[in-house]
Amino acid sequence: MNDFRDQKRYDAHQEAMRNSRRAKQRASARATQRKRRMVLIAVLLIPVAIAAFAFTWSRDSDAPKKAIKQAVTLPKQSAAEQAVGGHVAMPDHVRGVHVTSYAVATSGMFEPIMALADPKVGMNAIEIDIKDERGEVAFSTPIPLAKESGAHMNIYDPVKVLRRAHDAGLYVIGRIVTFQDGYAPGAAPANGVHTRRGTLWKNNLGITWLDPTNEAAWEYPIQLAAYAAELGFDEIMFDYVRYPTDGNAADMVFHDPGRSRDDTITSFLKRASNTLKPLGVRVSAAMFGLAATNDLGIGQKPGKLRNTLDAVYPMVYPSHFTDGQFGIAKPGDTPGPTVAAALSDWRRRTNGGTVQIRPWLQDFTLGGIPYGLPQVQQQIDAADSVGAGGWLLWNATCSYTAGVFAGTNGQP
């Protein structure tokens, strides 16, 4: 029995050992198979992983590109902008003339000006009044103060005029007389310059002024500019962007008399630029020709705006300078050297900035010698010699010298 039992235990033990070995072998085989399958799956998944990584990387790489694209995308065009063909790019060298709103509406005056258009070597820009020295607004707007004050004159259709100018390849600058205004202060007296008696102050021409120190008065010219930008004007030029220079200055009462004049005008133009540039329009200002030479006390400081405005238009009319200015005996009789001297000061004051200097040049006679083609050409040559970014010609009657755009050195 003992032997038998021992034999059976032995046989059972042997069978258990065999089963154990078989189980280990099967387990080993299954482990090997699993490893092989994992390797095979890994090999098969490599292309998929590469593709997924490439897709993710490309998405990550495109993100900043999309952000950059969005950052430089121009504002959506309004229906009016589309109607006038959108904005025209600013020329590298601006060559144009001043046109009053009434001249635009008078075929006998406007057609000869449009005949000067030659964007390649001749006239490539035109300045058209939006709000003039009297405060008249040339066309209807949705701006309440323009309506309430009676400033709307409906002189020309801006969409038709812009389409005509853009079709001719002209860069259109809309001029807004900023603070001199014979209409708005009457409808909003709190925004006007006052006298010591509390009435609205008027200059020697009997025209009221918006108060530069009252920021509530800033909104009206900026609203007009924004509307003009949406219509399709390519650039807004603020003129009379200063304190009054004629009239009884001792009788002027300002909203904030202690405010720095320089900071006031600079702050207005900075706010205007910040408001208008996102609309896709350029922003500029016309200033006195001597503002870069002397402190005139009217708030115009070119150096403070050299990185704010796209362009500044100094009025360097030779006949407006007094005898002896810049060491020149008769500036009005010496147009070339006078313009060169004045613009040299402007270059010095704006050195290192991004603003372009484009002078207003004289195409009219005021005392002294008569002005014709030689005198205008001397001014143009002087402006070009000091590296101006172009020029505009001024004539209050909008009658410009024949041949003035011929021989402009083929400026691009």
Report the pLDDT value the prediction gives residue 26, as an integer from 0 to 100: 53
Question: If you average pLDDT over residues 248-252, what whole number do you get?
Answer: 97
Asked if 336 and 381 count as a contact pair (C-beta separation under 8 A), the reply is: yes
Q: How far apart are CA 205 and CA 135, in angstroms?
A: 13
Q: E strands of 26-85, at which residues? A: none
Report residue 51 as tokens.
Answer: 């593709």
User: Could you read off the pLDDT of 155-193 as tens digits, one per residue?
Assistant: 999 999 999 999 999 999 999 999 999 999 999 999 999
Report the pLDDT value the prediction gives residue 121, as an integer from 0 to 100: 87
First to last CA, the chain: 123
Report the pLDDT value the prediction gives residue 83, as an integer from 0 to 100: 75
Alpha-helical regions (H) of 73-95: 79-83
pTM of the prediction?
0.80
Taking residue 16's Cβ as centre, other Cβ atoms within 10 Å add up to 10
215 exposure class (CB count in 10 Å sphere: 0-12, 13-18, 19+): middle
Do β-strands 356-357 and 390-394 pair in parallel, antiparallel, or remain unpaired?
unpaired
Asked if 408 and 392 count as a contact pair (C-beta separation under 8 A), the reply is: no
Higher-confidence residue of 409 and 310: namely 310
